[in-house]
Amino acid sequence: MNLRRPLLVGLLAGTVSLGAVPLAHAAFQTGASAGPTFSAASLGPVPSVATNRRCTSLLGAVLSASLDVTWPASSSPWVGGYRIELLNGSETVLQTQTRTAAQTRAVTFVLPDLLLTGTYSARVVSTFQGWTSVPVTRLDGGC
């Protein structure tokens, strides 16, 4: 028996089978396409803000006050939540509350003494990760 013959057949079979395997090919491209893009314009503001002032007084003196703030949902599908701010007349943020998009769209602020008779505003901003929408503000007066 010739021992070289099976060895030669095995080598030929291995070479043929390697030649039948497709080789992988990869290359970098300069242009690529991505999924949907997001910008500040994608994040819609709330349509409106409503406030309801509640004052507690005794013999004409205001003892305490609170402000209920409500708003309808933004029409933007990107909204992850809302930031609600209470501002004084000079637009300084005094208090802030947050809500997720799934939570009730209503908050209550207890007004500081300096706002019992002054003016103040409630501002609502739609948020998504680090992005914010255009703010919607409602000006209101004290008790």
pLDDT in tens, 71-90: 999 999 999 999 999 998 77
Q: What is the pLDDT of residue 85?
A: 97
Q: How confident is the model at residue 62 (pLDDT cuts 50, 70, 90)?
A: confident
Lowest mean pLDDT among 23-27, 43-47, 139-143: 23-27
The pTM for the full model equals 0.70
How far apart are the C-alpha atoms of 99 and 108, rounded to whole Å? Answer: 12
Q: What is the pLDDT of residue 64?
A: 86
φ and ψ at 121, to 5 degrees?
A: -135, 150
Q: What is the pLDDT of residue 40?
A: 54
Stretch 106-110: mean pLDDT: 96
- In the chain the first and final C-alpha atoms are separated, in Å, by 113
Domains of the chain: 44-141 (2.60.40.10)
CA 8 from centroid of its chain's CA atoms: 68
Q: How confident is the model at residue 19 (pLDDT cuts 50, 70, 90)?
A: low
2 has a pLDDT exceeding 60: no
